[in-house]
Amino acid sequence: MTAEGTARSDRTPPRDRAVSRFVIVALVLPLLLTVVSVVVQLLLMPSMPDPVATHWGPGGAPNGFGSAWVSPVLTVVLGLLLPGLIAITVLPGLRRGHRGAAYRLLGAMALALAVLAAVLMTWTYAMQAGLASAKDGPSATVPLIVSFAASVLAGFAGWFLQPKQEEAGAASLPSAPVALAPGERAVWMQTTTSSRPAVIAITAAVLLTAALTIWIAFTGEARAAWILGIVTVILIAAAASTLSFNLRVDDTGLTVTSVVGIPRFHVPLADITAARATTVTPMADFGGWGIRYLPGRFGVVLRTGPAIEVARTSGRLFVVTAPDAATGAALLTAFADRATSTESPEKEVRS
């Protein structure tokens, strides 16, 4: 009995702590910090001036005022909702076994945001308690410096509280060869779209920014509202142009075009040295979703799963996630091979 129990425990792989530690760093700790911070602010609310200072100028003096509820609400938004959005985006991949430094970094960022909100909002709120007028409040320079320093330290702590994560290498997918007769025409077309969690996260981010813009338009200064309004418009445009792309492989090469027409990317046959079907984990391989750039590779990465990877003559890689990537890569390889074989006799004659 004991021997069997020992044998079973020997065969059991060590528990992967990446998911549990991420949950602690990105969700549990931000939740505790935010709850404590909001409770403190609510306890101080009866002694707060009306209105309270909600904005400080370059010299540190109050120059924007609003309701006493502004600070608790912003504390929840910055310290809980934003880390929650990060967690919603990252946790599905971690639970599927995906690993990489980007996951660890995002967990640390979630904790840093929560600390920044808790320290800055609570400090600037508490220092106004008992004042007859918020205009007489002290400078916010010290709280600002300390809160940013605390958030940086929290980010480092969040990084080291999580285990090191080794990135899994991309696996090639089986690709059936495509035989093309001389002059034969063929085309492969697909549409790649962002995953449901990504769409939810992007939509939530846009709505959150829009709501914050409206809030500040009524409670803060006009300049901040205009800036956030511009950011909201940019976010909407970016979301509309990057959530879905049309893919096409034909005798001109690989073309990837947003459903709204721009951006558009084209890799001509003459620029292709090899093409293959592979699997992509956006967070681990590219540090996130969307149009991604890393040294040596560029990608249109909308979801986890099959992708076409093209090696270019420059040595760089172009990657696009795609349904039925194996067929698209095989046809692209066939076109590239035919183009090469067509050019070879000409090169021999010239030499």
Q: Of the spans 10-14, 95-99, 152-156, 214-218, which averages the highest pLDDT? A: 152-156
Q: Are residues 146 and 32 both part of a single domain? A: yes
CB proximity list for 237: less than 8 A, separation 6 or greater: none
Specify the higher pLDDT residue, 351 or 72: 72
In 3D space, the residue among 328, 279, 323 whose CA is nearest the CA of residue 304 turns out to be 279
Q: Are residues 77 and 30 both part of a single domain? A: yes
- At 170 the pLDDT is 47
On average, the pLDDT of the chain sits at: 78
- For 271, the domain range is 244-350
Which pLDDT tens digit goes with each residue over 260-316? 678 889 999 888 888 888 888 887 788 777 888 888 889 898 888 899 999 998 889
Which pLDDT tens digit goes with each residue over 1-49? 344 443 333 443 344 688 889 999 999 999 999 999 999 999 999 998 8
CA separation for the pair 171, 187 (Å, rounded): 25
From residue 174, alpha-carbon distances to 26, 76, 129, 276, 281 in Å are 37, 48, 67, 9, 18
In a domain, 185, yes or no: no
- At 8 the pLDDT is 38
Domains: count for the chain: 3
Q: Are residues 218 and 284 both part of a single domain? A: no
Q: Are residues 36 and 104 both part of a single domain? A: yes
| Residue 167 pLDDT exceeds 70 | no
CATH code assigned at 253: 2.30.29.30
> What is the identity of the amino acid at 81?
L
Tokens representing 70?
Answer: 């502004």
Say if residues 73 and 208 touch (Cβ distance below 8 Å).
no
Q: Are residues 224 and 158 both part of a single domain? A: no
Specify the higher pLDDT residue, 90 or 169: 90
In a domain, 5, yes or no: no
Q: Are residues 22 and 110 both part of a single domain? A: yes
CA 29 to centroid of chain Cα atoms: 21
CB proximity list for 156: less than 8 A, separation 6 or greater: 108
CA separation for the pair 220, 206 (Å, rounded): 20
Q: Are residues 139 and 237 both part of a single domain? A: no
CA separation for the pair 256, 262 (Å, rounded): 10
Say if residues 284 and 304 touch (Cβ distance below 8 Å).
no
